[in-house]
Amino acid sequence: MSRERVLILISGGVVGLLGVLLVVFGNPPNMVFCIACFERDIAGALGLHRASVVQYIRPEIIGIVLGALIASLAFREFRAEGGSSPILRFFVAMFVMMGALVFLGCPLRMILRLAGGDLNALVAFAGFATGIYIGVLLLKAGFNFGAAKRQKAASGWALPLFMLLLLVLLIFAPQFKQNGPIFFSKKGPGSMHAPILLSLLAGLVVGFLAQRSRLCLMGGTRDLFLIGDTHLLSGFGMVLLVAFIGNLIAGRVHFGFAGQPVAHDEHLWNFLGMSVVGLGSVLLGGCPLRQLVLAGRGNTDSAIAVLGMIVGAAFAHNFNTAASPKGVPFWGAFIAVFGLAVCVLIGILNREKV
């Protein structure tokens, strides 16, 4: 077995184990370790939306960026670069986030939900793979946002420094005016979290390992479609296996579609919501987890995508497109269809050949 295969299997296993531990120590059941949900909580904590049950500065997000930064500096891979269609990346990232919040989870949470017996994740994965397949067709037709260029080092440090600022805001929780911001949920998923130090450490470990192993579910599925390679997918196979075993030991496996925590069973919208995530992730060059990792190693295009996802989360709650355990609102269904159409159009209009 190659060194690279061993590394990605270890990375996947560690991510799965940390997901289980974070729930045991306080993270919301079935949410576990979700990039989309956690960025949504950060948007709420900053007052970008006012859904009071999902407001908290999640240390895991901070840790992923800083862990990737540490790995890239340690192995001399930090490189400030970007400038490849930044405004289009921003809007695609917004749609990725809004699609994820129709399903109620990112690709990582989709796997972790499945590891807990939530069969809605199977429907979502079918949609995710369909979106990636559409993206692969666009890649074969010549889609390209353009080449990234070297940037000033300060540009590459901007998002990691912003994450450090978020960490300060989390620890000291200053109030800039009466009743916030900073906002912290007193009930609901936003009020449920593991201790700050544990969550930060988990994020650092995931960010470090994901930077070294290039862990990305979109990338793995894309590579399977393009060249039949399963290297990256094997990492998420380990996430699923280890998390499933951990959930069995903790008594947290409950197979079924209905009644899953922080989830709904409207299959069409789970499918289409994650189709947007799959397609948008191909256009961006990585899933939400991968965008955080790339931003940590200095990629300003990915930093733009991260900010776009945070803003997209605010739009989702302010404009009532985010789903809830009660189901998908009308505007959530609309954004799933509209977002898919817009991403396809962006892919078509950015082809280098016909």
Q: What is the pLDDT of residues 208-247, one digit of tens each?
A: 999 999 999 999 999 999 999 999 999 999 999 999 999 9
Instruction: Find, among 296, 312, 304, the residue nearest to 64 by Cα.
Output: 296
* Secondary structure (3-state) at 320: coil
Regarding pTM above 0.75, the answer is yes
Q: Enter the tokens of residue 9.
A: 């299997």
Ranges of the chain whose pLDDT falls below 50: none
Q: 165 burial class (0-12, 13-18, 19+ CB within 10 angstroms)? A: exposed
pLDDT of residue 1: 73
pLDDT of residue 24: 94
pLDDT of residue 167: 98
Contacts with 33 (C-beta within 8 Å, 6 or more apart), sequence order? 15, 18, 19, 22, 27, 60, 108, 109, 112, 202, 206
What single-letter DSSP state applies at residue 190?
G
To the nearest 10°, report the CA torsion of 113, 117, 118, 124.
Answer: 70
Task: Say how far apart CA 99 and CA 97 lie, in whole Å.
Answer: 5
Residue with tokens 């500096």: 73
Q: 155 burial class (0-12, 13-18, 19+ CB within 10 angstroms)? A: middle
Q: Are residues 58 and 42 in contact, defined by beta-carbon separation less than 8 angstroms? A: yes
pLDDT of residue 125: 98
- The torsion region of residue 127 among left (phi > 0), alpha (psi -120 to 50) and beta comes to alpha
Measured in residues, the chain has a length of 354
Q: Enter the tokens of residue 221.
A: 């599925």
pLDDT of residue 32: 82
pLDDT of residue 31: 81
N-term to C-term CA, the chain: 41
